[in-house]
C-alpha cells in the first residue's frame, strides 16, 4: 500500500483554508499513487485547545466531517483526519479513517491528554486503538501522546495491527519522540508506525514538523523537515512477515509471568 503523509501548518479556526490544503494534498498524493492520506492532529481546525473550546461552534462539526468525506470521494483517496468531538457536553480529540468513498471505517478518541491545556479542555477516551482491515493490511489509530505509552502500542500490536497511524501536534524540544521512540515502538511491536505532525506556528505554539514513518525493523523510511511537505512511503507486507519471523517478540511474551510481577 502506498501511504501519503501530510505535514502541514494549520490556520486556527480557518477551516476553509485548512480543508483547501487537505484537498490539495489529497490530489497531489493521488498523482503519486497514494492510496491513503494521513493528516495531523486537529488539522482542520488548528491545534489550539483553549481557543477551540472558547470559539469553535460544535454545531459546525458535522458539516466539516461531510466536507472531509467529500475530499476523500472527489480525490479517490482514503483519508485519516482529526477533529474535536462534543458529546454530552464533553469534548474529545478524535481521529477518523475514511474510505476512498468517504465512508467511516474507524473512529478513535485520544486516551492520553498531554499537558494542562488539553486536560483542561478535553475528556480522555477509554478504548484501545481503533482497528480495521484495509485491503491486505490491518490498520490501527491512536493520537499523539498515546504513542509515548508502551501499553497503547502493545495493545495495537496484539490486535494484529500492521500499520499504526498517529496524528500528532508535537512542539519543539521533543525530537527524541520521532527520532528514537517511534522506531523503537515500531520494532518492538512488529508494525509500521506513521507519525504525522504539524509544522509552523499555531496560536503562538511552534510545532516541530519532523514527521516520520518507521518500519517493523525500526528503520526510518521517511523523515520530515521543519516545513510543510508531503511524503510518500510504501508499506510492504513482506517486510512485516520478515520482522515477525526474525525476532518474535509478540509470540514469545510471557503475560502470566508479567501479571505475577504486578504488571
**CA-CA-CA-CA torsion for 189, 172, 113, 40, nearest 10 degrees?**
-70
Q: What does each C-alpha distance from 118 to 2, 50, 84, 148 come to in angstroms?
A: 33, 8, 11, 16
Residue 165: per-residue pLDDT:
99
Q: Within its chain, how far is the Cα of 51 from the centroid? A: 22
Q: What is the pLDDT along the chain (263 residues), one digit of tens a residue?
A: 999 999 999 999 999 999 999 999 999 999 999 999 999 999 999 999 999 999 999 999 999 999 999 999 999 999 999 999 999 999 999 999 999 999 999 999 999 999 999 999 999 999 999 999 999 999 999 999 999 999 999 999 999 999 999 999 999 999 999 999 999 999 999 999 999 999 999 999 999 999 999 999 999 999 999 999 999 999 999 999 999 999 999 999 999 999 999 99
Q: Whose grid coordinates read 486536560? A: 119
Q: What does each C-alpha distance from 121 to 100, 117, 118, 197 come to in angstroms?
A: 32, 6, 5, 21
Q: Is 35 in contact with 226 (CB distance < 8 Å)?
A: no
Residue 255: per-residue pLDDT:
95
C-alpha cell at 249: 517478540
Tell me the catalytic residues: 41, 110, 144
Residue 223 has phi, psi (to 5 degrees) of: -140, 120
Residue 223: per-residue pLDDT:
98
Residue 168: per-residue pLDDT:
98
Domain range summary for the chain, segments of one domain joined by + = 2-260
Element holding 243 (H helix, E strand): helix 237-246
Q: Is 4 in contact with 221 (CB distance < 8 Å)?
A: no
Q: What does pTM read for this prediction?
A: 0.98
CA distance 19 to 216: 32
Q: What DSSP character marks residue 11?
A: P
Helix H, strand E, coil C: the string for 160-224 is: CCCEEEEECCCECCCCHHHHHHHHHHHHHCCCEEEEECEEEEECCEEEECCCEEECCCCCEEEEC
Topology, domain 2-260? Nitrilase/N-carbamoyl-D-aminoacid amidohydrolase (3.60.110)
CB atoms under 10 Å from CB of 16, counted, come to 10
Amino acid at each position: 500500500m502506498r501511504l501519503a503523509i501530510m505535514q502541514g501548518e494549520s490556520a486556527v479556526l480557518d477551516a476553509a483554508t485548512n480543508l483547501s490544503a487537505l484537498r490539495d494534498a489529497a490530489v497531489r498524493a493521488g498523482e503519486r499513487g497514494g492510496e491513503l492520506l494521513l493528516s495531523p492532529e486537529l488539522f482542520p481546525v488548528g491545534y489550539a485547545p483553549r481557543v477551540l473550546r472558547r470559539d469553535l461552534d460544535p454545531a459546525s462539526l458535522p458539516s466539516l466531517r461531510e466536507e472531509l468525506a467529500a475530499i476523500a470521494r472527489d480525490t479517490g483517496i482514503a483519508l485519516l483526519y482529526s477533529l474535536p468531538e462534543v458529546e454530552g457536553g464533553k469534548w474529545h480529540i478524535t481521529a477518523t479513517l475514511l474510505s476512498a468513498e468517504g465512508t467511516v471505517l474507524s473512529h478513535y478518541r485520544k486516551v492520553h491528554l498531554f499537558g494542562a491545556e488539553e486536560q483542561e479542555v478535553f475528556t480522555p477516551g477509554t478504548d484501545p486503538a481503533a482497528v480495521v482491515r484495509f485491503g491486505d493490511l490491518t490498520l490501527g489509530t491512536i493520537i499523539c501522546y498515546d504513542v509515548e505509552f508502551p501499553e497503547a502500542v502493545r495493545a495495537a500490536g496484539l490486535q494484529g495491527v500492521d500499520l499504526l497511524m498517529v496524528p500528532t501536534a508535537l512542539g519543539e524540544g521533543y525530537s527524541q519522540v520521532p527520532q528514537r521512540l517511534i522506531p523503537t515502538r515500531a520494532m518492538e511491536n512488529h508494525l509500521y508506525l506513521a507519525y504525522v505532525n504539524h509544522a509552523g506556528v499555531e496560536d503562538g505554539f511552534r510545532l516541530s514538523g519532523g514527521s516520520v514513518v518507521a518500519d517493523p525493523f525500526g528503520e526510518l523510511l521517511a523523515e520530515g523537515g521543519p516545513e510543510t511537505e508531503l511524503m510518500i512511503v510504501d508499506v510492504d507486507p513482506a517486510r512485516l512477515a520478515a520482522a515477525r519471523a526474525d525476532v518474535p517478540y509478540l509470540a514469545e511474551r510471557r503475560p502470566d509471568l508479567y501479571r505475577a510481577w504486578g504488571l
